[in-house]
Structure 1
Amino acid sequence: MDYKTIESFKEGIIIKEVSNFDPVHIFECGQCFRWDKEENGNYIGVAFDRVIEVEKKGENVVIYNSTEEDFKNIWEDYFDLKRDYGKIKLELGKDPLLQKAVKFGHGIRILRQDPFEITISFIISANNRIPMIKRAIKKISSKWGKIIEYKGKTYYGFPKIEDLKDVSMEEIQDCGVGFRAKYIKDSVDKMYDCLNLSRSTAVVDNLTNIEEKNSEKFNLNYIKSCDDDLCHINLQNFSGIGPKVADCIMLFSMQKYSAFPVDVWVKRAMQHFYLAPDVSLKKIREFGRNKFGDLSGFAQQYLFYYARENNIKVE
């Protein structure tokens, strides 16, 4: 566990003696889109229909607008605070090449985010820039998500599957997602149909094997329960989800830490540290998973953050 204890105060909670936690590293390493840095250096984010503000104060982390109950039920898991990242960094740091990236992003933690939100968010992320991704997610949330107030401002939770089931492709497109609107609409429809079919299987005994399998095919809870390789395959049944996006969903919301998403920055980092410049994305993914094993996802985050922040280029 990477903290000692928690204390309540009027405006929230204090997590005492937190290790391996830097808000800049966590919220700027490409894994989330609902966190924004404030003028005072704090980060305000929306997750699980809550708004919280995070401040690092020496060895402590302050979470404003939270209770001890919310911390135990939501934020302890969300920030993966039960895991000892010191052990992960020690193991990955044995590789002299990776050691530099681990030290640079020493405060990274992989968030445990909501699978539906992350699935839609990373469909939006394909061939897209972070400001545009964040803007689109914010528009979708403001139209169909739960209203949340904090410090006189209005925020919005990410909508549920049921909230989007009757939304048209044109309405989704109006949120600035471009050609990805059809992928989002198709994915929501399949998830909702699957959800209804899953409920039916609970009360109807004479469904065929095909119907039972279809009730799981687009069920994110079922996909999350699969082993890592099958999870990766099943996610790609959704429109607009290829290997890289599937890896992101697995890593950032399904706790599949053998995932190794390869984007332009990871490709540059792997070429810079390990491989020849002409290696394909598929081969880089295979190389990363073989080299880092069950810690591949953690290695990927350190490499991504190091490469992007240092603007690594390959000659």
Structure 2
Amino acid sequence: MQIEETNNHIVLHGVTEFDLEQTFSCGQCFRWERDTGETYTGLFGAHPLRIGQQGDVITLYHTTKEEYETIWCGYFDLDADYRAIQAHLARDAVMRRAISAGRGIRLLVQEPFETLISFIISANNNIPRIKGIIARLCEAFGAPVPFEGGTVYAFPTAETLTRLTRADLAPLRAGFRDKYILDAAQKAASGAVDFDAVYAMDYAAAKRELKKVMGVGDKVADCVLLFGFQKYDAFPVDVWVRRVLEHCYPDDAHRSDAAAFARERFGPYGGFAQQYLFYYVRENKIAK
């Protein structure tokens, strides 16, 4: 891959195993929106970006090389060897088909607290509604950030959210999740859930730590570990993933613990397998 800095843009040439549409539509993030045309706009923390793709050329608009190197290269996981990851997983026949469908998916390296709140909001919810609640949360309580002649809003900090009540959150229309949002903020801000320690913990210990938060069960914890802490042996199981496991692994997927089956089968790359399978089942409309 070659990096070109031109006209206040960063242009990446020869990009492989990275497709913006696939990456932003596989259920791992909720703050990226497609513009009119071939670009997307989103934020990482307080850093907004407009990004576009034409084939193997990706353009990061109004971005310096320093911003690319310190923020976006890491966020988009561009230093990882996805070809090697895919080769490892492709020893499984089902995974070969799933990878072929979603070869351009990359796992975004997201901020842990934002990821925790986002997936608490995701429980028993659909993606348009999740995005709406998160957008209202950021507009109401996030710091304003000037961007392309307008204003976007950073994700609110845990400390900001600790000063709120359920009445303050009522306009978000988050329903029963509002008390979970406040509990997560209190435990993150106080250190009752130690995010720094989670990075160093093994999968089982890290999952127990996150489940101290109200409303965080197995699936939400696995999502946060995978997308927020880069625990790539985590394998979140939702209705879509369970469906593809039952369809494609009929002799194994009915085990009581589908996530344990997947971790055993895919090992340290279970999280990557989950994203390929999630995209595969939705794109192919695999029936129940």
Tell me the TM-score normalized by structure 1. Answer: 0.88
Change (3 A) 1:153 1:310: farther
Equivalent position of 1:202 in the other structure? none
Change (3 A) 1:182 1:229: same
- Say if 2:270 is the partner of 1:270: no
Equivalent position of 1:235 in the other structure? 210
State which of 224, 229, 235 in structure 2 corresponds to 1:260.
Answer: 235
- Say if 2:173 is the partner of 1:176: yes
- Say if 2:223 is the partner of 1:248: yes
- Say if 2:257 is the partner of 1:292: no
Partner Cα distance (1:278, 1:290) in 2: 12
Give the letter for the 1:259 counterpart: A
Equivalent position of 1:208 in the other structure? none
SS of residue in 2 equivalent to 1:121: helix
Give the letter for the 1:147 counterpart: P
Instruction: Work out whether residues 51 and 150 of structure 1, in 8 Å CA contact, stay in contact via their aligned partners in 2.
Output: yes
- String of CA shifts for 1:132-161, please: whole Å, max 9, x gaps: 110111111011112123233321110111
SS of residue in 2 equivalent to 1:110: coil
Q: Write the mapping of 1:1-315 to structure 2, written as runs, cut at 5 A.
A: 4-194=1-191, 217-275=192-250, 279=254, 282-314=256-288
SS of residue in 2 equivalent to 1:139: helix
Report the alpha carbon displacement of residue 11 of structure 1 after superposing the two structures with TM.
3.6
Equivalenced residues, count: 288
Q: Which runs of 5 or more residues in structure 2 are unaligned?
A: none
Change (3 A) 1:9 1:35: same
Q: Which runs of 5 or more residues in structure 1 are unaligned?
A: 195-216
Give the letter for the 2:231 counterpart: K
Instruction: Work out whether residues 51 and 65 of structure 1, in 8 Å CA contact, stay in contact via their aligned partners in 2.
Output: no
Partner Cα distance (1:162, 1:31) in 2: 24
SS of residue in 2 equivalent to 1:311: coil
Report the alpha carbon displacement of residue 172 of structure 1 after superposing the two structures with TM.
1.7
Partner Cα distance (1:227, 1:84) in 2: 23
SS of residue in 2 equivalent to 1:136: helix
Instruction: Work out whether residues 268 and 313 of structure 1, in 8 Å CA contact, stay in contact via their aligned partners in 2.
Output: yes
Give the letter for the 1:284 counterpart: A
Q: Identity rate of aligned residues, in percent?
A: 40
SS of residue in 1 equivalent to 2:235: coil
- String of CA shifts for 1:254-294, please: whole Å, max 9, x gaps: 010000000000001101110359826x5211110000000
Give the letter for the 1:128 counterpart: N
Give the letter for the 1:227 counterpart: D
Partner Cα distance (1:283, 1:190) in 2: 28
Partner Cα distance (1:37, 1:276) in 2: 40
Partner Cα distance (2:179, 2:119) in 1: 14
Instruction: Work out whether residues 113 and 188 of structure 2, in 8 Å CA contact, stay in contact via their aligned partners in 1.
Output: no
- String of CA shifts for 1:210-247, please: whole Å, max 9, x gaps: xxxxxxx4121212221122111211111110011011
Quick check: 303-312 or 271-280, which moved more?
Answer: 271-280
Partner Cα distance (1:83, 1:304) in 2: 21
Give the letter for the 2:12 counterpart: I
Instruction: Work out whether residues 92 and 299 of structure 1, in 8 Å CA contact, stay in contact via their aligned partners in 2.
Output: yes
- String of CA shifts for 1:66-92, please: whole Å, max 9, x gaps: 111111111111011111100111111
Q: Which runs of 4+ in 1 moved over 3 A?
A: none
